[in-house]
């Protein structure tokens, strides 16, 4: 049983996950942010690996990645930071990055480092299903890792059911067919999409992300799934109000 499955054993409603970018706002802020999120009882944390060409990310997260890269962040530093906090952090971490990052670092080296940091769950948005089936499923199984797949309003039912069969953590339900970023209120069209997914009676837990930004959107998302992820709104708050305001942000959502 992985760390995310254990969370769902203890709590399967209204889970709050926060996405943040490693090395942002400052190079050595990674663990300070993790500690603050843990202190404020976030259920799990999505740790973003800064990347120069993030396909799924909107302007806010792209800017945070660019700033982190300017700060000098790289995968070696990220893994060292995560190793440093491993012994004291009790909140499960999910590592979010892109396939090219793993390829450049070396697939086995990457997986070994992830496991050494105490992480067992990955989100790799650009990992093709065929590549997962032909290669990465066996690689991840070798290291005890699980991959989180994303679905969008355009994902076919056949693909969703295939993803459901492969899922060992949760399915990431992308709230809209677009990049990350706050979009305002959840629309009736999105509600219809959430209802359609809910009606499939999937075996996997569902976490909604993209456009979840405040108490209203979080509460609405949790009506149709087991929880939600907030990313861009948290990064904006971090930029505007700083690390000391993390507790206020989490309180405002819950």
Hey, which residues are catalytic here?
A: 46, 57
Query: 229 forms bridges with which residues in the sheet?
Result: 17
CB distance 94 to 2 below 8 Å: no
Query: 48 forms bridges with which residues in the sheet?
Result: 21, 96
Rounded CA-CA distance 51/164 in Å is 28
Nearest to 151 by CA among 198, 119, 216: 198
Half-sphere exposure (Cβ direction) of 146: Cα atoms closer than 13 Å: 20
Instruction: For 18-50, give the DSSP string.
Output: EEEETT-SSGGGHHHHHHHHHHTT-SEEEEE--
């Amino acid at each position: 049983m992985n760390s995310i499955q254990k969370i769902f054993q203890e709590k399967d409603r209204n889970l709050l996950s926060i996405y943040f970018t490693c090395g942002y706002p400052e190079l050595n802020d990674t663990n300070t942010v993790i500690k603050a999120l843990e202190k404020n009882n976030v259920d799990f944390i999505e740790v973003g690996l800064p990347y120069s060409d993030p396909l799924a990310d909107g302007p806010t997260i792209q800017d945070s990645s660019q700033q982190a890269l300017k700060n000098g962040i790289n995968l070696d530093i990220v893994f060292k930071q995560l190793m440093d906090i491993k012994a004291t952090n009790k909140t499960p971490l999910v590592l979010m990055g892109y396939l090219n990052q793993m390829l450049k670092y070396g697939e086995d080296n990457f997986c070994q480092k992830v496991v050494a940091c105490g992480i067992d769950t990955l989100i790799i948005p650009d990992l093709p299903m065929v590549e997962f089936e032909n290669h990465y499923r066996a690689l991840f199984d070798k290291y005890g890792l699980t991959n989180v797949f994303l679905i969008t309003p355009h994902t076919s039912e056949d693909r969703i059911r295939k993803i459901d069969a492969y899922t060992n953590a949760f399915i990431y339900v992308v709230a809209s067919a677009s990049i990350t970023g706050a979009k305002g209120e959840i629309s009736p069209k999105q509600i219809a999409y959430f209802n359609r997914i809910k009606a499939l009676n999937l075996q996997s837990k569902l976490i909604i992300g993209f456009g979840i930004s405040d108490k209203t959107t979080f509460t609405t998302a949790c009506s149709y799934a087991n929880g939600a992820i907030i990313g861009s709104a948290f990064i904006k708050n971090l930029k505007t109000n700083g690390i000391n305001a993390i507790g206020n942000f989490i309180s405002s959502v819950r």
